[in-house]
Structure 1
Amino acid sequence: MSIVDLSGYGCKYSKDISVDLIGVLISAAFQVWYIFPVIILTFIIRTPWFKGVFGEFQVNLILKKLPSNEYYLIKNVTLPTKEGTTQIDHIIVSQFGVFIVETKNMKGWIFGSANQKLWTQKIFKYSSKFQNPIHQNYKHLKTLEAQLNISIDALFSVVVFIGESEFKTEMPENVTHASGCLSYIRSHSAELLNQQQVLDVIKNIESGRLARGFSTNQAHKAHVKVIIKQKTTDKLCTKCGSDMVLREAKKGQNAGSKFWGCSNFPKCRVVEKFN
């Protein structure tokens, strides 16, 4: 019986399988190439950055419904401050005043009041805190007051929520959903600035704003991180989000001892031990 050497054939057979496998993989990759952009796009859509940009885009479309011959819209304004920078989503300049618009793209139930430092967002059983947008926009208002040299009575703060959110506490009239901001802006019909003052305000804002670009955005983000870090060191009520105040017991067996009490007392009676 003769023995046939198949080693050469085996090697060739192995190479053929490898080549075929690579070809199949390449072919499969071409057939499902569209999945990868979809995955990347899905990731981007879920980022806070995209939600913020998309929210500002939606508000921009809403604000463009205001008559352009009466209201001048300025978008995405970054202004220098003593502490760093402050960034304003939209500024509307008119003879009826200057409206500073802060946008929040959020969903779920929203709890908050004008005097609370932190508001609450609740989605099913999940709750999270976020900075009171009224306080946040007040800084914008004061920055513009200093730069524009006009009466604060001609400056108005507007907070607009975009997205599937629902207010669960009574909100001030300047905190609205979507196009509700138009009604608030139009409700101011008294002439507070003459035409020359309007032009001066527009020129002042445009000339005083920082150049739009990557470096400006990065500098502002760094400043915001510092602010957030400072705020998270404050002691806040675990129930309503108001400031906790250090108090001293006046009577009883704990007289003279210190404790943390909610500043929203007597509406909120949360107390904590002082260590």
Structure 2
Amino acid sequence: MREFLLAFDGLEKQPIVYVIIFLVLLSFIYQAKRPAIRGAFGEWLVNRRLRKLGDEYHIFSDLYISDDNGGYTQVDHLIVSVYGIVVLETKNYSGWIFGSETQKYWTQVIYKNKNRFYNPIRQNYGHIQSLKHHLNKVNLPAESVIVFTGDAVLKMEQPFETSEVLTLGALRKYLLKERPRLLAEDEVGNICRNLKSLASLDAAERKRVKKLHLRGVKQKQKESVLSKRKVGETVIPVVEESPEALSQDSCPRCNHPLILRKGKYGDFIGCSAFPKCRYTMNKQA
């Protein structure tokens, strides 16, 4: 103990050591939280653009909406106006992005590295269905928009029919293009009042809802991964999930595929990007 105190006393006389330690710790924290930080930054960039649309556009961000299965879905951004509703899903990705409307997975290519991620059009379809269920409006004029906020280059060969896919730089121009009126002013007011009740949850209730949402996502991930057959170290899909499903067999931290691994205490599910990503979850019987 005395030696430790002497060493600590020596560090006090060298403040630069504290700076180095702080920077190292900061680096570790950033690496651990990088996916969440990048995602939050991307959504902040989008929200900043949306706030400049004008008073006739009502913006709602980071909403948890109940679905028809007793769970919750998380929506990045909603834009409500007399021109309808835009349900916006953000992806803060870099590199070349390949994918089509019907593919279950899209591909991100950065130099020689390729990563799969769940088709965001399918993901946003689930958000729209939950919104219609929550508002009790089957014919709600809701449009799907996927926006990539990083320095991504979209390499899609065919146009999309059920969703608009674009980069952040093209978002504002697209949203302000001439459109027909689809909702009356009183309908817009009713929808906004409903959504404001979701946005104004107190901290305790929001924490509870978020916990339920994450629990549902993890449960779906487990059910999906365990329903796939294993070939070597690769998990191959057996059953095609519905369009409402979230990314079921991708790591929630880095979007790499989840695979079945063998450990000292039995089988478990882990990220294929190990050791860069150490995400794991228990294998259910």
The equivalent residue for 2:90 is 103
Q: Secondary structure in 1 aligned to 2:13?
A: helix
CA offsets per residue over residues 112-142 of structure 1, 9 Å max, x none? 1111111111222221211110000001111
Aligned length: 225
Structure 2: runs of 5 or more not aligned: 230-235, 241-285
The equivalent residue for 1:48 is 35
Displacement of 1:218: 2.7
TM-score (normalised: structure 1): 0.71
Return closer, same or farther for 1:151/1:66 CA change in 2, 3 Å cut-off.
farther
The equivalent residue for 1:238 is none
Distance 1:215 1:25 in 2: 44
For 1:42-191, list aligned pairs within 5 A.
Answer: 42-46=27-31, 47-67=34-54, 69-81=55-67, 82-150=69-137, 152=139, 154-170=141-157, 172=160, 174-187=164-177, 189-191=179-181
Question: 2:60·2:199 contact (CA, 8 Å) conserved in 1?
Answer: no
TM-score (normalised: structure 2): 0.69
Q: Structure 1 stretches (4+) deviating beyond 6 angstroms?
A: 17-20, 242-246
Displacement of 1:84: 1.4
Return closer, same or farther for 1:200/1:245 CA change in 2, 3 Å cut-off.
closer
Question: 1:87·1:220 contact (CA, 8 Å) conserved in 2?
Answer: yes
CA offsets per residue over residues 167-209 of structure 1, 9 Å max, x none? 1223536111003122222235111111110000111222356
Q: Secondary structure in 2 aligned to 1:34?
A: helix
Question: 1:119·1:130 contact (CA, 8 Å) conserved in 2?
Answer: yes
Q: Secondary structure in 2 aligned to 1:121?
A: strand
Q: Secondary structure in 1 aligned to 2:76?
A: strand
Return closer, same or farther for 1:160/1:95 CA change in 2, 3 Å cut-off.
same
The equivalent residue for 2:18 is 33
The equivalent residue for 1:221 is 214
TM-align CA RMSD: 3.1
**What amino acid sits opposite 2:218 in the alignment?**
K
Distance 2:213 2:93 in 1: 22
- Point out the structure with max Rg over C-alpha: 1
Distance 1:95 1:244 in 2: 43
Distance 1:39 1:18 in 2: 21
Displacement of 1:62: 1.3
Distance 1:134 1:19 in 2: 58
Q: Secondary structure in 2 aligned to 1:226?
A: helix
